[in-house]
Amino acid sequence: MRSGSGFDETVDANWWRQATVYQIYPRSFADADGDGIGDLPGVVSRIPYLKSLGIDAVWLSPFYPSALADGGYDVDDYRNVDPRLGTLDDFDEMVAALHEAGIKLIVDIVPNHTSDRHEWFKEALASPEGSPARERYIFRDGAGPSGCEPPADWESLFGGPAWTRVREPDGTPGQWYLHLFAKEQPDLNWDNREVRDDFLKTLRFWSDRGVDGFRVDVAHALAKDLTEPLPPKAVIDATLPHGSHPFWDRDEVHDIYAEWRQVFNEYHPPRTAVAEAGVPAHRRPRYASADGLGQAFNFDLLMADWDAAAFRRIIEENLELARASDASSTWVFSNHDVVRHATRYALPNGTDLHAWLLGGGADPQPDKEQGLLRARAATLLALALPGSVYLYQGEELGLHEVTDIPADARQDPAFFRNPGVEVGRDGCRVPLPWTVTGPSFGFGDGKAHLPQPDWFGQYSVEAETKDEASTLRFYRKALELRRRLQTSEELQWVERTDASALHFVRPGGWHSITNFGTEPVELPAGTVVLSSAPLSEGKLPTDTTAWLV
Ligand code: BGC
């Protein structure tokens, strides 16, 4: 049995089941050396903040060496730290300091693709067709008489073709490689034993350094059936069900995770994992099974309208699905890929967020006050549910999406690959404001790598720490109280006559009620321990959640 960095061997192996996990997007969290890019010493410097927030674990988005063609999800070297973010020693120091503060660490792992600067890809380009170096990726001859057409008409998720042609070592145009994302992210060939073994080595490398778990990027894409002839896009999209799609959610992907699970179980406590798998709800339990990754993201609330019936259906379904694999559910409203939920809720239900961002975030005008009210109510509801809650840095400040980043400052490949169609995800990745004023609002001493708007200072940690009614103070209180709910996973609905309110009870007689309607609703007898907004004459106002005992 392996152990990591002297962490307490007696720790509960089920710590993850109801954990509150805080996502750090490291390049935008805290910049200790003033180069405009957040770094690992920056994370360490903010551990007192994380501790005072009351989280159980940090999920650290990629911190590996990367050219940042996709915000770090283009990894050059899986067993190293981007020199702009620090060193392996800094990493070890961060793990030790987090553990010292009682906070676990989950790291992002990106197995579907490397970056095009990974030594394997460079070797593949320098090697001939059919060579073992090319076999680690997905190379195919082109279609058409001179091979000048891509092998299939598939599109990358960031727009544009999913195949790129390479120049062979002799300088002639040659084969094509598959990249489901940006062209700088060549897909790995998971039928290749060497690829599989290398990832097992990576899992052990970080687990040995004391990492407690992994967030698995695009977990449903690794297994692929690329038997020739490759089906055209229209055929794939229209006919093939999940389980037999050529690259999404194939059943064989679970063989890979069964091997990973064996590695996780070499440790005490076993390392945990959460799958980012964009699959239909009924396909989630296999990713979340105990002989697989153990947990899977459920993004249903993140996509749901602000509506009591929709929330109830999603909660019931996901608790049921989690039970099916003996996992616990996950609840998420925001992350580094989506519009911040305070802003989403500031818009009418059903707003097309891509089109809205493209229009500069002005039509319709967001009702920021309503957005924050609903975001706080939604978060308090989720924090009362059984399962783990994944928070995204800055949501505890009630941050809104930044919608006016100039084109020449944007970084997201989705922006560059979709001219005039998408602005991408930079608006939720703007470096955090720590102070009311000062260079980059306390993010660092220099200019932040993405421009921060003037209004950021009002949402800073400094401003909100002083304000009793702030979103930060509210999150701290909620997380502190939530600890009392982390012991059992039961939930009982309370049926009410007012259909716009959602009401459930957790063990110990802990009530959570959310008012999605337009009129205040009655509260049950009991003491209100926290509400997401002030009560109105003893009633629960619109867009508010209250906890009572
Ligand atoms: C990550 C994205 C990333 C993509 C490709 C995801 O789902 O969350 O940020 O662009 O995978 O790695």
Q: Calculate how far, in angstroms, residue 218's C-alpha sits from the geometric centre of ligand 1.
A: 7
Catalytic annotation present for 266: yes
Task: Please report the atom of ligand 1 found closest to the CA of residue 337.
Answer: 9
217 lines ligand 1 (CB under 6 A): yes
Residue 110 predicted with pLDDT over 50: yes
396 lines ligand 1 (CB under 6 A): no
Residue 424 predicted with pLDDT over 90: yes
CA 257, 262, 263 angle in degrees (round to 5)?
A: 95
**What is the residue with the minimal CA distance to atom 7 of ligand 1?**
218
Query: What pLDDT, in 10s, does the model give residues 505-537?
Result: 999 999 999 999 999 999 999 999 999 999 999
The per-residue pLDDT for 69 is 96
pLDDT band at 122 (very low <50, low <70, confident <90, very high): very high
Q: Is the peptide bond before 520 cis (omega within 30 degrees of 0)?
A: no
The per-residue pLDDT for 236 is 86
Single out the catalytic residue among 39, 56, 108, 217: 217
Q: Calculate how far, in angstroms, residue 216's C-alpha sits from the geometric centre of ligand 1.
A: 10
70 lines ligand 1 (CB under 6 A): yes
Q: How far is CA 40 from CA 35, 81, 84, 88, 151, in A?
A: 13, 9, 9, 10, 42
Q: Calculate how far, in angstroms, residue 115's C-alpha sits from the geometric centre of ligand 1.
A: 13
Residue 514, C-beta contacts closer than 8 angstroms, at least 6 positions apart: 308, 311, 377, 378, 380, 381, 501, 502, 503, 544, 545
pLDDT band at 7 (very low <50, low <70, confident <90, very high): low
**What is the residue with the minimal CA distance to atom 3 of ligand 1?**
73
The per-residue pLDDT for 242 is 75
Task: Please report the atom of ligand 1 found closest to the CA of residue 336.
Answer: 9
Residue 414 predicted with pLDDT over 80: yes
Catalytic annotation present for 74: no
Single out the catalytic residue among 92, 191, 266, 305: 266
Q: How far is CA 369 from CA 345, 376, 502, 515, 530, in A?
A: 9, 11, 22, 16, 19
The mean pLDDT of 134-140, rounded to a whole number, is: 98
Count of other CB atoms within 10 angstroms of residue 188:
26
pTM for this entry? 0.97
Choice from 68, 78, 106, 181 to test ligand 1 binding pocket (greatest atom count within 8 A of CB): 181
Residue 549 predicted with pLDDT over 50: yes
181 lines ligand 1 (CB under 6 A): yes
pLDDT band at 396 (very low <50, low <70, confident <90, very high): very high
The mean pLDDT of 195-201, rounded to a whole number, is: 98
337 lines ligand 1 (CB under 6 A): yes
Task: Report the DSSP pairing between strands 510-515 and 528-531.
Answer: unpaired
218 lines ligand 1 (CB under 6 A): yes
